[in-house]
Amino acid sequence: MELKYTRRAPASILLALLMLSASTAAIAGSLAGSVGDKRFPPPLSMNPKDQCTSAYRSYVAASGHSAYATTFYTRVVDLYVVCGKALNAPSQKAAEDVALRNCQGGLKRWRLNTASGGCAIAASK
The burial class, CB within 10 Å (0-12 / 13-18 / 19+), for 121 is: buried
25 pLDDT higher than 50: no
Beta bridge partners of 27: none
List pLDDT tens digits, range 28-81: 568 999 999 999 999 888 899 999 999 999 999 999 999 999 998 776 666 788
pTM for the whole structure: 0.74
